[in-house]
Amino acid sequence: MLKSERKSMRSMVLVTLGLMAFAPGTSHSQVGRLKSSTKPTVSSISPTSATAGGASFSLTVDGTNFVSGSLVQWVGSSTSSISITLVSSSQLKATIPSTLLAVPGTVQVSVYDPGKGGGTSNAVTFTVNPVSTTTSNCVNSIYGDCGDPYEGLGPPPNQQAISACGKTIGASGNYKVSQNIGKDPTATCITINYNTTHVNLDLGGFTVAGAIFDLSGNGNTIYNGTVTCNRDQSAYPQACVDIYNQITSAQARVHHLAVQNQHELNGVWAVMFEMDNPGAYAGGGSGLGMPCRVDHVAMTSITGTGVGNRYGGIESQGNCSAEFDHNYIHCTGGLLNGCQGMGVGQIPFAYLHDNEVQMDAVSGTTQDGRALMCDQGAGVNGTCDIYNNLVFASNNRAIRYREFPAGCPGGAGPWGVQHGKVYNNTISNSEEKGRIGVIHVGEDDCNLMPTAINVYNNHIELNGENGIVVVSANGVTAYGNFFPVLGVN
């Protein structure tokens, strides 16, 4: 090989790997051919930014004098994996792989025409933003959407980008929201189809306006962002994040989210599991893979707007055994009626632990709120353990066990014996009165509720009113609880 030929080949290799990627079907010989061209110009690119660690996306480049064989230069990159589609002489589409989004910073994007008379256009700046580190919904680095949503593993591979609402996921895989999406909080933004399992839905730290409706649940995970919606009971989904199916094969999990439902009426929640029938997947005990789990989720209600009963943060009802841990729920004060922090109903097993619930004082209502609630039933001898929680109760009940045996208003039981352990909880600023207690077991004016509930080692800070109240229930044992102020009944 001649010396001049070696020099020419070496130069071509440097240009190919250092500055550009070939369009599909473009060969090395095409790059070298001579043709009459005019130097391209770039007027704009869209989008102009992305988040570090994000999924691959389509970049639109607008300008003039684009021709077949034009290349998009991502200056400073050594990749050759950018694929290019010529839309017209004034527009190119370039697929930017996720590998180019690994490090925050700025890059210069330009278009290169290898033909005779062509050349390199002006450059336009594209920004790779750092991952958001906002802690507005993180409390004491423990509760709410705190910590690393990837839990030390980093983003999963091959994430498919979701850039707009209206997305229906029909296949297993990894998905990632690439920007803030949605304009209508009453709409359903993202749907996971029936029988679509093992979906990893990463919100990418962005905000989704509209509900996320998971019609499968099995092995699916929704995490890392903010969801705001305005859903009521008129149609499904009835929550901002709603999982609706039997869990038959693997855990359904929601974690590291800030969620708010703007509606706040009867039966409307931020996160809800709804199961018509029990699934075959039972999981284990606390920390061992319960079928339905919510952790590191933050919810703050809207001040003074709630006019219904039993709406609020997180609920699992109808047969999905659940674990709720490390969440932060704030039921704001005013005319809120019956705001619930977290509740479970008609499920075999529940573990509510290591959460913080802030219950502001309410007024002018027919019902106070409940921070942590267990409604057992569905013909099972349910177990609901509540422990290691921090509750600011005000004039609300901090912990509530309830059941509707036969003969109760709205009841159809008997449901069986309700089991539970209530321990190591810290409850402060408590002002419950009458036959209502900070820890309240049983249903007033109702038939006897059979229980096997132990209440022990709790720190209950009272403001001169009731601590532990048992109404129409038997089998409740209380010992070793600490009441630091006077006025305990």
Alpha-carbon gap, residue 356 to 353, rounded angstroms: 9
Could you tell me the two tokens for 268? 């409307």
Contact call for residues 342 and 313 (beta carbons, < 8 A): yes
Distances (CA, A) of 343 to 41, 153, 294, 397: 60, 31, 12, 13
Angle at 355 between CA 277 and CA 255, to 5 degrees: 60
pLDDT at 170 over 60: yes
> Is the confidence at residue 32, as pLDDT, over 70?
no
pLDDT at site 140: 78
Q: What is the mean pLDDT of residues 443-456?
A: 74
pLDDT at 404 over 60: no
What is this structure's pTM? 0.71
Q: Which CATH class is domain 141-479?
A: mainly beta
Containing 149, the helix (H) or strand (E) segment is: none
Q: Which CATH number fits domain 3-129: 2.60.40.10, 1.20.120.530, 3.30.450.40, 3.30.390.30?
A: 2.60.40.10
Q: Helix, strand, or coil here: 14?
A: helix
What is the average pLDDT across 259-278? Answer: 73
Query: Tell me, what's the pLDDT at 386?
Result: 93
What gap in Å lies between CA 42 and CA 52, rounded to an integer? 24
Computed over every residue of the chain, the mean pLDDT equals 77
Alpha-carbon separation of residue 81 from 56, 73, 74, 237, 321 (angstroms): 11, 11, 11, 40, 46
Q: Show Cβ contacts of residue 457 under 8 Å, excluding neighbours closer than 6 positions.
A: 423, 424, 480, 481
3-129 matches 141-479 in fold? no
Question: For the residues 310-320, what does the mean pLDDT come to?
Answer: 74
pLDDT at residue 11 is higher than 50: no
CA distance 438 to 465: 9
Q: List the one residue out of 269, 245, 253, 257 whose CA is nearest residue 296.
A: 257
Q: Say what the pLDDT of residue 12 is.
A: 29
Residue 27 has pLDDT above 90, yes or no: no
Q: CA-CA distance, 250 to 410, in Å (whole number)?
A: 33
Residue 255 to residue 290: CA distance in whole angstroms: 14
Rounded distance between C-alpha atoms, residue 141 and residue 133, angstroms = 12
> Tell me, what's the pLDDT at 313?
80
> How many beta carbons lie within 10 A of that of residue 282, not counting itself?
13
Mean pLDDT of 271-293: 68
Residue keyed to tokens 């490090």 = 103
The confidence band for 5, taking pLDDT boundaries of 50, 70 and 90, is very low
- Cα–Cα distance, 457 to 113 (Å, whole number): 75
What are the angstrom distances between the C-alpha of 344 and each of 293, 333, 373, 386, 427? 12, 23, 6, 11, 20
Q: Which two tokens stand for residue 138?
A: 């993180």
Q: What is the structure's pLDDT at 379?
A: 43
The domain segmentation of the chain, as residue ranges, is 3-129, 141-479
Q: Does 408 have pLDDT greater than 90?
A: no
The mean pLDDT value for 123-139 works out to 71
